[in-house]
Amino acid sequence: MKILLLGSGAREHAIAQKIAESKKISKLIVSPGNVGISQIAECVNISSDNEAIKQYIIENNVDMLVVGNEQPLADGIADCLFEDERTRNLMVIGPKQKGAALESSKDFAKDFMIRHNIPTARYKSFGKDELNQAIDFLKTLSAPYVLKADGLAAGKGVVISETLEQAEEELKEMLANAKFGKASEKVVIEEFLKGIECSVFVLTDGKHYCVLPEAKDYKRIGEGDTGLNTGGMGSVSPVNFASKEFLEKVENKIIKPTIEGLQKDAIEYKGFIFIGLMNVEGEPYVIEYNVRMGDPETESVFPRIESDIVEAFELVAKGRLNEYELKVTEKVCTTVFLVSKGYPEDYQKGKVMTGFERVVDCNLFHAGTKAGEGSQILTSGGRVIAISCFGSTMQEALGKCYENIEKIDFEGKTFRRDIGKDLMNLEA
């Protein structure tokens, strides 16, 4: 089978690695991919335009498309392929636009949750012309205030304000001054949920589903979860507070109603559903849906999958995912990201990276790297590379990550030393 994977980050590197291990694959092509992915797959540069992707698929006899990131799904790549009889039967892992709205419109996602009785924070949405009503609603809530741009805003669309004044100011920026462009023409204001977060991943054919290992990500740049939000500084899987009992609640109160809700709303859905959860005193609440895997969670989740992922994808396409037997290692996998100094604000690129040959017993998933002269690898982004290791305990896995981090070097190398630390405190 010939597979095309779309994306260029460490998440796609981890997905590509799992696909490349499959017995069912004859060729893996990744667009645009990156220097790490090019070691295990052919990287090509297809324009992000739906028609260009479709043309490539036709000309190259691709059998399956796996979409790593949300943008092509929000742009309707799955619809475009379905509407053309030449690609109608292509296997596509990723929903059509209607399903992708679970991520591309927070208002749609909240409405979906309420309609299907899925636990989530109380909320109201407001359009550009409703600033005064929005401010009145804010006044009925208590601090901190959670404001969310309705549309896709590159992970930056959620703002949490500590005071009413800040929240009002932020609301004006979003609604009246288009802080996030079109994405903030509508804003969701919701109740703040106090608890600890966890990411749950589901693969579904729209009827049957398979729950993948859960994970926790670390979003802030600074240790102790301080400072600016990033694309993710690390992750761990499994998550110790996600007990069997908690995960059963997640399945019964969230996953089942979500899949049934999609069916009731006549939304055909084949792909991943990433459920961002808050554990509030043992009860799960949905913070957000995403229609793809998480980054950097995938870098800890995918290495744990032992069964053939391409077989799962094939069964998704055929609507027979119930026949899949997911096998997951009990080992813990942890990921620590190396980032450029200054990230997520200004940072320098083009720094020479050394020490790759010295790492042991670990996966290196590339994100912001590029080929330099000869065999040299240079930094080319804020999040540079993910170091992912196994252990029989989280401590052991993290120990290996940090040992390997010592071996890789580049000017300005920055990382968090406290990945997983909050969970160790929980265990104590």
Q: Does 158 bind ligand AMP (CB under 6 A)?
A: yes
Q: Does 333 bind ligand AMP (CB under 6 A)?
A: no
How many residues bind to ligand GLY according to rule CB under 6 A? 7
- Among 127, 136, 132, 106, which Cα is nearest to 175's? 127
121 binds, among ligand GLY, ligand AMP, none (CB under 5 to 8 A by kind): ligand AMP
Q: Give the 3-state secondary structure of 252-320.
A: HHHHHHHHHHHHHCCCCCCEEEEEEEEEECCEEEEEEEECCCCCCCHHHHHHHECCCHHHHHHHHHHCC
Q: Does 232 bind ligand GLY (CB under 6 A)?
A: yes
Please report how close the Cβ of residue 217 comes to ligand GLY at its closest, in angstroms: 4
Site string for ligand AMP, 171-210 (x = CB under 6 A): -------------------x-xx---x-------------
173 binds, among ligand GLY, ligand AMP, none (CB under 5 to 8 A by kind): none
Q: Does 94 bind ligand GLY (CB under 6 A)?
A: no
**Which C-beta is closer to ligand AMP: that of 193 or that of 203?**
193
Site string for ligand AMP, 95-124 (x = CB under 6 A): --------------------------x---
Q: Does 70 bind ligand GLY (CB under 6 A)?
A: no
Beta strands across the sheet bearing 226-237: 216-222, 226-237, 332-339, 383-391, 363-366
Question: Which window, 112-120, 138-146, 292-300, 405-413, contacts ligand GLY (CB under 6 A)?
Answer: 292-300
Q: Which residue is nearest to ligand GLY (CB)?
A: 294
User: 3 near 28, Cβ under 8 Å?
Assistant: yes
Answer positive or negative: Cα dihedral of 163, 164, 170, 171.
positive
Question: Which window, 72-80, 119-127, 288-296, 307-315, contacts ligand GLY (CB under 6 A)?
Answer: 288-296
Among 37, 146, 187, 239, binds ligand AMP (CB under 6 A): 146
Q: Does 103 bind ligand GLY (CB under 6 A)?
A: no
363 binds, among ligand GLY, ligand AMP, none (CB under 5 to 8 A by kind): none
Question: Which window, 110-118, 259-267, 290-298, 332-340, contacts ligand GLY (CB under 6 A)?
Answer: 290-298
User: 316 near 310, Cβ under 8 Å?
Assistant: no
Residues near 16 by beta carbon (within 8 Å), at least 6 away in sequence: 5, 28, 30, 33, 37, 40, 41
Q: Give the 3-state secondary structure of 339-354.
A: ECCCCCCCCCCCCEEE
- Residues numbered 201 to 220 that lie near ligand GLY (CB under 6 A) are 217
158 binds, among ligand AMP, ligand GLY, none (CB under 5 to 8 A by kind): ligand AMP
**Which C-beta is closer to ligand GLY: that of 63 or that of 288?**
288
- Segments in 67-163 forming alpha helices (H): 70-74, 77-83, 97-104, 106-115, 131-140
Please report how close the Cβ of residue 121 comes to ligand AMP at its closest, in angstroms: 4
Among 94, 206, 284, 294, binds ligand GLY (CB under 6 A): 294
Whose tokens are 């981090």? That residue is 405
- Residues numbered 258 to 297 that lie near ligand AMP (CB under 6 A) are 276, 287-288
Residue 153 CB neighbours (<10 A):
18
Using alpha carbons, list the distances in angstroms from residue 401 to 162, 340, 386, 414, 415.
35, 18, 9, 14, 11
Residue 392 CB neighbours (<10 A):
10
- Rounded Cα distance, 387 and 368, in Å: 13
297 binds, among ligand GLY, ligand AMP, none (CB under 5 to 8 A by kind): ligand GLY
Q: Does 70 bind ligand AMP (CB under 6 A)?
A: no
Q: What is the DSSP string of 362-388?
A: -EEEESSEEE-STT-EEE-SSEEEEEE
Q: Residues interacting with ligand AMP, by CB under 6 A?
A: 121, 146, 155, 158, 190, 192-193, 197, 276, 287-288
Q: Residues interacting with ligand GLY, by CB under 6 A?
A: 155, 217, 232, 290, 294-295, 297
